[in-house]
Amino acid sequence: MVLNITTFGGLFIADDDGNSISEKELRSPMIEKLFLYMLFHRQGSMTSDEIIEAVWQGEESENPLGTLKNLTYRLRKELAKKFGNTEFIITEQRGYHWNPEVIVYIDVDEFETLIKQAKYEADQKKARKLYEQALKICKGEFMPKISDLYWISSQNTYYHSLYISAAKSLCKLYTNAGEYERLEELCELAIKYNNTDEQLYCYQIEARMHMGKVGLAMDTYERARIILDQEIGVQKSTLLSKVHDELLNYDKRRSEENFLDIRSDIIEDGEPEGVFMCAYPIFREIYQLEARKATRLPERSWLVLFTIKNKLGENGERQQRNVSHAMADLEEIIRRYLRIGDVCAKYSDTQFVVLLSRVNAPIANDVANRIVNKLLEYDDNYARLEMSYSTEEVTFEGKVINEK
């Protein structure tokens, strides 16, 4: 028996015969926690006390051994539904161990192995291929739905750091080879994982500069400067300033361009899909332009502010993580369900602001209601959060939020 386990972006279990079970089908974060702990400790025995401490993390129970026994039974039952009556988990006198006859391949193990091989590979072409294979495996955060466990959170941080380090190593290889299109594409992906890494912005600026996208490179510099200032308090960066100077010198050397050159610099890459996501300073500029249009066009636009927070008296670390998960899911829903032409920005750790183009008040409220309802469908835990929205018509007199 062989199981292939995916953990990046959520749990997915499959065997070589095409049988599988998803995180959603399991319907229990506690079963996921137990399963993951046993997988990561499958090389040896696990005492009941160790498992209880790792899975329940200090939560009190009248009968912890009985609770563990019941949860193990449920896990076995879920695995048996999809993969037959193989004995995956073997009971011992003081605990459990994973059946060594069940071979397990986990995406994080392959991810880590490929990066280690690439790091010590002398041949740059081979190293590049290894890094590319590794980064394709990482399709999201490590087990984001159960990151309230300290050891899951710790692993998540480790894999996140490993991804960014590998991405920057691959950026260097692309730069050495002069493959600026691949460099730009990689930076775009990596910045979504970490939007405060200065070196990634520098690589992105360099890629766009060498591709002749000077205007876009300038925008990248401005966005990076604002984000580094707002998120980590870096007001002046030596590395970013150096790349900016190179960009200015490059721009001075450019000859006069025609309309086609300008168009290729400003046009959006690929087919536009869904809402336009941007940083808040850019959102504010777009809002102000929309407000100016409101003085001469009959069609109106509406501003919607979504807010997620814990209900009164629930401000622990776990609840804060719940808000963080809800914000990530809310962003995914906004990306999926809003239209081309709508604009969205993250306003704070608990808020998104959206500009709905050419709608009336009932439609604006209907869209906002639908977004909130979609979020509630994602996870039962979100019912414990306070989710709200407010709307306002865009007018020249109206003011978009300026203070956090």
Tokens 């391949």: give the residue.
105
Task: Encode burial over 248-257: b for 16+ CB neighbours within 10 A, e otherwise.
Answer: eeeeeeeeee
Strand duo 2-6 + 20-22: pairing: unpaired
CA dihedral sign of residues 364, 370, 376, 379: negative
- Residue 233 identity (one-letter amino acid): G
In a domain, 403, yes or no: no
Pick the last residue of a domain from 233, 266, 299.
266
Residue ranges of the alpha helices (H) in 122-179?
124-137, 150-177
pLDDT digits (tens, 9 = 90+) for 331-366: 989 988 888 889 999 888 889 999 998 888 899 999
Instruction: Specify whether 160 is located in the same domain as 230.
Output: yes
Instruction: Specify whether 34 is located in the same domain as 142.
Output: no
Can you tell me the distance from the alpha carbon of 287 to that of 396, in angstroms, rounded to the nearest whole number? 10
Chain centroid to CA 170 = 20
Confidence of residue 404 (pLDDT cuts 50, 70, 90): very low
Instruction: Specify whether 25 is located in the same domain as 136.
Output: no
In a domain, 9, yes or no: yes
> Which pLDDT score is estimated for 312?
58
Which of 83-92, 187-196, 251-260, 351-360 is predicted least confidently? 251-260
CATH code (residue 150): 1.25.40.10
Q: pTM higher than 0.85, yes or no? A: no
> Which pLDDT score is estimated for 255?
47
Q: 242: buried, middle or exposed (CB in 10 Å: 19+, 13-18, 0-12)?
A: exposed
Q: Which of the 8 DSSP states describes residue 340?
A: B
Instruction: Specify whether 133 is located in the same domain as 260.
Output: yes
Pick the last residue of a domain from 227, 247, 266.
266
**Residue 397 tokens, joined:** 């007199």
In a domain, 400, yes or no: no
Instruction: Specify whether 99 is located in the same domain as 16.
Output: yes
Can you tell me the distance from the alpha carbon of 248 to that of 241, in angstroms, rounded to the nearest whole number? 10
In a domain, 12, yes or no: yes
pLDDT digits (tens, 9 = 90+) for 285-343: 888 888 887 666 666 789 999 999 887 555 556 667 778 888 888 998 998 888 888 99
Q: Give the total number of structural domains in the chain.
A: 3
Instruction: Specify whether 309 is located in the same domain as 337.
Output: yes
CATH code (residue 339): 3.30.70.270
Instruction: Specify whether 87 is located in the same domain as 174.
Output: no
In a domain, 208, yes or no: yes
Pick the last residue of a domain from 240, 266, 292.
266
Instruction: Specify whether 257 is located in the same domain as 177.
Output: yes
Answer with the residue of higher pLDDT: 44 or 384.
44
In a domain, 119, yes or no: no
Instruction: Specify whether 285 is located in the same domain as 347.
Output: yes
Long-range contacts of 343-346 (CB under 8 A, 24+ apart): 343/275, 343/276, 343/278, 343/283, 343/286, 343/287, 344/275, 344/276, 344/277, 344/278, 344/283, 345/277, 345/278, 345/279, 345/280, 345/282, 345/283, 346/280
In a domain, 37, yes or no: yes
Domain span at residue 14 reads 2-106
276, 357 contact by CB (below 8 A): no
**DSSP sequence for 348-390:** ETTEEEEEE-S--HHHHHHHHHHHHHHHHHH-GGGGGEEEEEE
pLDDT digits (tens, 9 = 90+) for 362-396: 999 999 999 999 998 888 778 888 889 999 988 76
In a domain, 113, yes or no: no
Is residue 259 classed as helix, strand or coil in its secondary structure?
Answer: helix
